[in-house]
Amino acid sequence: MFSGLVAYLDSVKARDPAPRSRWEILLYPGVLALGLHRIAHWLFSGELYFLARLVNHISRFLTAIDIHPGAKIGRNFFIDHGFTVIGETAVIGDNVTIYQCVTLGGTNPANGVAGKRHPTIEDDVIIGSGAQVLGPITVAPRSRIGANAVVTRDVPEGAVMTGIPARPTLVDAQEYQKGFVPYGTPCSERFDPQTQQLELLKCEVETLRNRLALLIEERDARSEEPAKNRQTIA
């Protein structure tokens, strides 16, 4: 148990350069919230719903992080700062990082749809601050949700999602291969959505130019053939 705790604290330190020691990490609200959630989830699984909710409310009061006791969370989960909401049927894999003010929300309860209402976040996902991941969707492994993105559809593996609604963002190979990107958001100017749209337009213009040049060559070739035929007959 102690070795598991040390491994968890080291995983947090690898993702956050601020703490000077493991003891300091123990004071993090996200670490406290996860520890209390483990207790609340154990009570919830034993159908002690009132006690589970009581622990949940204590945790929310202490940390400003609201994790429903029914949510299933894997290893090395880290919430950096607070004000995060995680719904009842959310499922979170291993080595997931979430920043402040994130919501893993459900579908509208007024529509009468029961069962899985909240997202499934698979291994090694990073969710940036202010992002909203809504509904019973799946965020595939190693994908990244940019700050303030609103995600309502499944996210493919390794994708970087930005915008409202969130769409995949073009990322170069060097950036894609990084093991960890703080806040899940590439900060280089080349990843700005408007810059990317301009780059896409440039690519389309270049493609059209090449196509036009090819058509002109084909037209010239066809116009030269009758002249050659006349010379051959003469």
| Paired strand residues for 214 | none
Integer Cα distance of 52 and 72 in angstroms? 14
Q: How many CB atoms lie within 10 A of CB 190?
A: 12
Residues 6+ apart with CB under 8 A from 224: none
Per-residue pLDDT of the chain (234 residues; tens, 9 = 90+): 677 788 888 888 888 888 888 899 999 999 999 999 999 999 999 999 999 999 999 999 999 999 999 999 999 999 988 899 999 999 999 999 999 999 999 876 665 556 788 999 999 999 998 999 999 999 999 999 988 899 999 998 888 888 888 888 765 445 544 556 665 555 555 555 555 556 556 667 777 888 888 888 888 888 776 665 656 555
Token output for 214: 């090819």
Residues 6+ apart with CB under 8 A from 153: 137, 165, 166
Give the pLDDT of residue 137: 92
Integer Cα distance of 140 and 121 in angstroms? 7
Integer Cα distance of 69 and 57 in angstroms? 10
Look at strands 160-162 and 167-168 and give their pairing. antiparallel
Give the pLDDT of residue 225: 67
Integer Cα distance of 74 and 121 in angstroms? 10
Angle between helices 49-63 and 29-45 (to 10 degrees): 170
The domain made up of 2-186 has a fold known as UDP N-Acetylglucosamine Acyltransferase; domain 1 (2.160.10)
Alpha carbon separation from 59 to 3, 72, 89, 211 (Å, rounded): 24, 16, 18, 62
Alpha carbon separation from 122 to 168, 182, 202 (Å, rounded): 17, 18, 35
φ, ψ for residue 44 (rounded to 5)? -65, -40
Q: Is the peptide bond before 165 cis (omega within 30 degrees of 0)?
A: yes
| Paired strand residues for 97 | 78, 126
Q: What is the dihedral of CA 93, 97, 99, 103, to 10 degrees?
A: -10
Give the pLDDT of residue 173: 43
